[in-house]
Every structure is written in structure tokens, then in C-alpha cells.
Amino acid sequence: MRILILGGSGLVGQSLIRQALALPGVTQVCAPTRRALTGFAADARLLNPVRDFSQLQADDAIWQADVLLCALGTTMALAGSQAAFYQTDHDLVLRCATMARAAGVNCMIYNSSLGAALKASSFYLRVKAETERDLAALGFSTLGIVRPALLDNEGQQRPDHRSGEAIALRVLRPLRWLLPARYRPVGISVVAGAMLRLAQSACAGNVSKAEPAQQATQMPKLLILESEQLQG
């Protein structure tokens, strides 16, 4: 299995890379990033092409993969405006997915968010839902969607500072087992592991462990893992 990972510089993306390289059936992990990755042991299977994501082209060799794992995303605070957030979390994700699909990638796994809904009161959650909807229209054979609650960085330092998330984690961690499973923080390694399991199942043609949503025949096989399904 050749895996393409987008968002490899973030914590979920880094965990995806490490866990993917630990799988014996993975022959290649391609993780394009804006700046070269550090902290990974030498492995001939890991490719880290440096790319300006605003200039990605459809004929780039990075799209030659069996499955696309997408952990691209930002926050409203980091983006600075709704327009900038939408450009990253919807437009960039969709543009990359479109080029991957055109290159023959049949399976995509997308890291979304708990509560993603087209009619959500939160702009953030509406964008996540729009992205899910538009990815489903691209023609992938299988589209996997993981919807975690607040991400627990598991003690690792984020490459970007997210003060709001840090405060929320300090409050919620001690209360974890008092919260409904749906709202408990989810470790980044748990999210990455779930994405890889969906990818393995899809590529092997074995998707019986996840319930496919009811979709029209022209839509992809849609596999959705909600936050409570990620809890151990």
C-alpha cells in the first residue's frame, strides 16, 4: 500500500507517518510539507517532498498513491478570518483531493470534526460538513471520515500554538471519565490509528467493520467513525 499523507507537519499527521511506517504492508509513505520534516528515523519508504501547497500541480508525482490520508486543517484563531479558514479547510483540501482522484487514487480518509453539520451554528463545523459533502462528490470508491472531539496532544508540543485548545484540555482531562464518550478528548495517536485502519480495510476490500452510510449508488462507500467510536 502506497500512502499519501497531507498535513504531515501537524501532530495527527506526524502520528500518521510514524504509524504507517510501522505497518509491514506499507511500501511507501509520501508526506509533502511546506518545510522539511525533522525527527523521523531514516526509512527508505518515507518521501518528504517540499512543496508550496498553493502551487501544487495535477501532474506532480506525489499523487501516485493507493490511499490519501488528509489531516490538513487550521483553526479560526490561526487563520485570522473566516475567509482564510475556508480557504485552508475546504478549498485546499478539496483541491488536493481532486488532483489525487484524477491521478487514480480510489480511497481517501479525512480527519473532520465532532458535530460537523451543514446547519450547525458554528462556522467551523459548517465548513467541515461542506468539505465532507464535496469530497463525497469526487468519485472515490471509498471515503472514510473520522470525527473526533477535542484532540489531546498526548504531551507533545504542537508546531502551532493553540491556546484555546490548551485551556480546554486542562479543564477536560481531569473530568474525562465523567463526560459522555462522545465528548471526551481523543488522543492524536488514536485518531491516526483509526484513519489507518479505515485505509487498510478499504484497500483490502474489507469494510465490514464500519457501517456504510446510506448513499446513492453513484456516491462512494462512505465510512464514518464518530468520536465515541474512537474511545478505548
pLDDT at 115 over 60: yes
> Worst-scoring range by mean pLDDT, 51-65, 105-119, 174-188?
174-188
Residue 68 lies in a domain: yes
- What's the half-sphere exposure (Cβ side, CA atoms, 13 Å) at 152? 19
Answer whether residue 33 is part of any domain: yes
Which residue would you say has higher pLDDT here, 57 or 156?
A: 57
CATH number at residue 194: 3.40.50.720
What pLDDT is stored for residue 202 in this prediction? 82
151 forms bridges with which residues in the sheet?
186
Sort 188 into a burial class: Cβ within 10 Å, 0-12 / 13-18 / 19+. Answer: buried
Q: Return mean pLDDT, the chain.
A: 87
Residues contacting residue 168 through CB under 8 Å, at least 6 positions apart: 150
176 within a domain of the structure (yes/no): no
pLDDT of residue 214: 39
pLDDT band at 75 (very low <50, low <70, confident <90, very high): confident
pLDDT tens-place string over residues 210-223: 333 433 345 678 89
Query: Which DSSP state fits 75?
Result: -
Domain span at residue 120 reads: 2-149+187-230
Q: Give the total number of structural domains in the chain.
A: 1
Q: What is the pLDDT of residues 168-187, one digit of tens each?
A: 656 556 666 667 888 888 89
With a pLDDT cut of 90, the percent of the chain lying above it is: 66
Tell me if the pTM is above 0.85: yes
Q: What is the pLDDT of residue 174?
A: 64
Distance CA 34, CA 59 (A): 18
Q: Tell the burial category of 231 from Cβ atoms under 10 Å away from its Cβ (0-12, 13-18, 19+).
A: middle
pLDDT-derived band of residue 190, with 50, 70 and 90 as boundaries? very high
d(CA 19, CA 37): 16
Region of 104 on the Ramachandran plot (φ > 0 left; ψ -120 to 50 alpha; else beta): left
Q: In Å, how far are 27, 72, 200, 212 from 7, measured between CA atoms?
A: 20, 4, 19, 26
Q: What angle do CA 78, 86, 8 make, to 5 degrees?
A: 60
| Residue 62 counted as domain residue | yes
Can you tell me the mean pLDDT for 130-146? Answer: 96
Of the ranges 36-40, 79-83, 111-115, 216-220, which one carries the lowest mean pLDDT score? Answer: 216-220
Within-domain flag for 30? yes
Domain assignment present for 158? no
Residue 52 dihedral angles phi and psi, to the nearest 5°: -85, 110
